[in-house]
Amino acid sequence: MRIAVYPGTFDPVTNGHLDIIERGARLFDRLIVGVAQDNYKDALFTTAERVGFLKQATSHIGNVKVEAFSGLLANYVVSKGAEAVVRGLRAVTDFEYEFQMALMNRKLDKRVETVFFMTSNEYAFTSSSMIKQVASLGGMPEGLLPKPVEEALRRKYSFPVLANQG
């Protein structure tokens, strides 16, 4: 069985993340979506909320499992019997960071490989950070989040959905 881990903070999960999950699930027998508990970002949603959103959004994909993890990614990957880390790339700036992380993970354990997916065109500019920034200023870019996540984001920032200005 070929197992991969798709790690991230997913704060919040976007349709771009879901695109990578669906594509990764087609290539691997099992895809574990690992929600990082240890991160250096200020999380808007709790770990439990992020895991819940992902479980709901991926419930239709039979070979995807969602769980929280902490500690070193390389250790987590090996503990799950996985052979690969799945990562998405949007731009050159993503590549530089992801390349460093892939090399570090391989240095920590030579069994850990990284597989990069190029983003789909419609999500090339999408990031959780940008979506949170726009929402904090009163905007909601429609079509970039699963509906339950969009509703939760609206509640966090206490504003109604705006008509698509786009």
Note if 158 is an active site residue.
no
Per the residue annotation, which of 23, 90, 106, 156 is the catalytic one? 90
Which H or E run includes 7?
strand 3-8
Per the residue annotation, which of 50, 87, 128, 132 is the catalytic one? 128
Nearest to 131 by CA among 111, 156, 107, 113: 156
Note if 154 is an active site residue.
no
3-state class (DSSP) for residue 104: helix
Note if 41 is an active site residue.
yes
Per the residue annotation, which of 17, 50, 87, 132 is the catalytic one? 17
8 A C-beta contact, residue 118 and residue 148: no
Per the residue annotation, which of 2, 41, 107, 111 is the catalytic one? 41
Which H or E run includes 27?
helix 15-27
Note if 156 is an active site residue.
no
Q: Which residues are catalytic?
A: 17, 41, 90, 128
